[in-house]
Amino acid sequence: MKTTGFLIIIGLLFGLFANVTMAQSGQRFADPVFDEVNVVKGVPYSSAVREGQSDTTTLYFDFYEPQDDTMTERPLVITIFGGSFVGGGRDFSDMVGYCTRLAKHGYAAAAIDYRLLSFMNLSHKGLVRDAYMAAQDVSSAVRFFKCHYDTYKIDTSRVFLLGNSAGSIALLCELFMDEDERPEETLESPDLGSMHSSGYQEYAGYSPKVAGAIPHWGGVISCDIISEEEYVPLCMIHGTVDATVPIDSGFCFSSSLFGLMPFVYGSQAIANHLDEMGITDYAFYPFEGEEHAFYYNTFFQLNDQFDTCFNITRDFLLGHLNYPTVVPEREEALLRVYPNPATDRVTVAVSEGAMDGPCTCVVMDDMGRKMIEEESFASPFTIDVSQWPSGVYFVRIACDSVNCSRKFVKQ
């Protein structure tokens, strides 16, 4: 597994989210701080023509948000279901599971429709065209929420995409495919138009740019469509023996529908391509011996692997929220961490009078791994960091009246 970028432990500074109602203890975005979730189902966001049809199809989303939340600008995660572009729905158990859990962690979440291919039009050409249509619909959904950010209390700079299988292929296509990279099938009559041309006129001018994406067992038709200039952080999850969407490269459904399905490059090929370009801000989690959509059991119920995938998603989102880390003067006085940068030792000092009860100090690295945990310590105290790898670390102090964190660099 490879990931870079700062893991900013959002929500440890309670004052940053002082206007948020929390139903239980914990830190927003890191923990399920809300007990209840409000769900609004069947909200239209686009209207478009399906492959082989002339009439338009209305597309809908289900919106999930924490109950009694007072935060006015929240990160949004848009989820896109799987089903080989011919089936599936926004009410699939994984989409419901992700959206519900994310809302309990303090996010807004939306499970969206996209255009599906009818079996009457099932062909290699039809599948390529429909995958492109699905990508257009993902773009429409992003632009819809940016247009209606006030209604749904969305922070438009913190919109993320999460997909399963076909949904992952669609989101990767939406993120990285330029006009001159479109498959020939999309140019045939009727021409499907540019990637961001679909949807309602009201949001036509809004940007489809997102802050990051989490494709589960996804792929692209060519790794060359991913360039450094348009790159957004990815967190890729894939089973190593996936025969539906190969982790490296090959035809989808190679064991049963060879030649009918498109040839794709999976998560391993994408990771290799990013390495070649020198891009390090990505995460790749290959699950050894796992097949396609491995968080489902035989009856499409979620198994324990879903918890693992959710935790990976949660940590990736935490690391890419990038909320401001400016510390108010009062909090700066409460906790000092020095020297910064540090070489051999770092001193942690809590101001006199702030330690009015038991205190805990936790230090984590930029991947969220706990380095030390000290309880009931005397301030100031010194930590030996001489054997720690160079990088960024986060010090968290939790007392009865103090709950804040600091970042320092180990050289």
Sort strands 74-80 and 403-410 into parallel, antiparallel or unpaired: unpaired
Give CA–CA dist 219/12, Å, rounded: 35
Extract the tokens encoding 211. Answer: 């802050």
pLDDT at 14 over 50: no
| pLDDT, the chain, mean | 86
- The model's confidence at residue 353, banded by pLDDT at 50, 70 and 90, is low
Lowest-confidence region among 14-23, 62-71, 248-257, 398-407: 14-23
The mean per-residue pLDDT over the stretch 35-40 comes to 97
Lowest-confidence region among 23-37, 178-192, 195-209, 296-310: 23-37
pLDDT at 79: 98
pLDDT at 393 over 90: no
State pLDDT tens for residues 236-287: 999 999 999 999 988 877 655 555 678 899 999 999 999 999 999 999 999 9
pLDDT at 406: 78
pLDDT at 254: 60
What domains are there in the chain, each with its CATH number? 14-320 (3.40.50.1820), 329-410 (2.60.40.3080)
User: What's phi and psi for 249, nearest 5 deg?
Assistant: -160, 155
The count of other CB atoms within 10 Å of the CB of residue 262 is 19
pLDDT at 323: 67
Which residues are CB-contacts of 256 (< 8 A; sequence separation ≥ 6)? none
- The model's confidence at residue 9, banded by pLDDT at 50, 70 and 90, is very low
Give CA–CA dist 202/98, Å, rounded: 29
The mean per-residue pLDDT over the stretch 114-127 comes to 88
Q: Is the pLDDT higher at 375 or at 145?
A: 145
Give CA–CA dist 87/219, Å, rounded: 18
Give CA–CA dist 307/339, Å, rounded: 39
pLDDT at 69: 92
Q: How far is CA 165 from the centre of its chain?
A: 15
pLDDT at 356 over 70: no
DSSP state of 351: P
Give CA–CA dist 40/21, Å, rounded: 20
State pLDDT tens for residues 172-188: 999 999 999 999 999 99
The mean per-residue pLDDT over the stretch 91-99 comes to 96
pLDDT at 263: 87
User: What's phi and psi for 238, nearest 5 deg?
Assistant: -160, 140
Give CA–CA dist 244/83, Å, rounded: 11
Q: Answer for the pair 306, 297: CB distance below 8 angstroms, yes or no.
A: no
What is the secondary structure of 111-165 as a DSSP string?
Answer: EE------GGG-SHHHHHHHHHHHHHHHHHHHHHHHHTHHHHTEEEEEEEEEEET
Is 345 exposed, middle or buried (CB count within 10 Å of its CB: 0-12, 13-18, 19+)?
exposed
Q: Is the pLDDT higher at 8 or at 254?
A: 254
pLDDT at 94: 96
Give CA–CA dist 161/254, Å, rounded: 27
Q: Which of 325, 339, 363 is nearest to 411 (CA)?
A: 339
pLDDT at 330 over 60: no
pLDDT at 20: 39
pLDDT at 322 over 60: yes
The mean per-residue pLDDT over the stretch 223-228 comes to 96
pLDDT at 354: 62
Before 339, cis peptide (omega within 30)?
A: yes
pLDDT at 390 over 70: yes
Extract the tokens encoding 115. Answer: 């255009």
pLDDT at 18: 34
pLDDT at 376 over 80: no
Give CA–CA dist 121/360, Å, rounded: 62
Which residues are CB-contacts of 188 (< 8 A; sequence separation ≥ 6)? 125, 129
